[in-house]
Amino acid sequence: MGDWSFLGRLLENAQEHSTVIGKVWLTVLFIFRILVLGAAAEEVWGDEQSDFTCNTQQPGCENVCYDEAFPISHIRFWVLQIIFVSTPTLIYLGHVLHIVRMEEKRREKEEEQRKASRHQEERDHLYRNGGGGGKKEKPPIRDEHGKIRIRGALLRTYVFNIIFKTLFEVGFILGQYFLYGFQLSPLYKCGRWPCPNTVDCFISRPTEKTIFIIFMLVVACVSLLLNLLEIYHLGWKKVKQGVSNEFAPDRMALPLARDEAVESNMI
């Protein structure tokens, strides 16, 4: 299995811009999934195909029975699960970095404008106080502690991040159930061609592998629960506001426009 250090560094950066529950979720992902998968689970499944034996000498029978018993290796399945549930967080991190970069560019531009018009102090004073028809300054993206404020478009991205993580968790839990179930039997009966008849195949270390399957299932359920708690933590009202606030100004502008038209007609 490949090196997880790059993904770990990205998730560590995302942790700085997450809620408290989001930080717990990332900790669970990194410690109980990535580290356990790399340190222990891969060793348990290292002999998965080599020690899968069937009581037949028919060429090709053992291979097709292994393919039927394990359409995809548990290790590769869990690696895909980690990648999929991490991707929404990485997209959110990309949005955060984009906002930070845009803020830096805006500050650099304002600094250049102040240097270029330093001899026009009076005009600069009016501009800073909102006079002279200047642009209205945007609210700061950071709070008093220097952390990124999760609101507006960033809040929507964060909400969709949680929603997609939840959907991926549910999808992979169901996928694991339909592919293998949640326990491995030491005996697997196979009647697939080219086997001459129904043959008995034996799986190595089924009890130990079942323990790992249950452990990874519990971790997935804990991650799913944390996602649901985070949605509750954000609050349904805040979630609704984050998803729909970009359309609110247009809806508010219509009544104001009608009121102004009525007043002009009265005059």
The confidence score (pLDDT) of residue 75 equals 85
In this structure, are residues 267 and 177 in contact, taking their beta carbons and an 8 Å threshold? no
In this structure, are residues 11 and 92 in contact, taking their beta carbons and an 8 Å threshold? no
The pLDDT tens digits for 69-96 are 888 888 889 889 988 998 888 888 888 8
Two tokens, residue 41: 């689970």
CATH assignment of 5-261, given 1.20.1440.80, 3.30.300.350, 1.10.10.10, 1.10.1200.10? 1.20.1440.80
Q: How far is CA 62 from CA 30, 56, 149, 187, in A?
A: 36, 8, 57, 13
Minimal CA–CA distance to 8: which of 89, 100, 99, 95? Answer: 89
Q: How far apart are the first and last CA of the chain?
A: 77
The confidence score (pLDDT) of residue 251 equals 47
pTM above 0.85, yes or no: no
> In 10 A of CB 95, how many CB atoms?
16
Domain limits, the chain: 5-261
List, for the chain, all residue ranges whose pLDDT scores fall below the cut of 50.
131-137, 250-254, 256-257, 262-267
The confidence score (pLDDT) of residue 129 equals 53
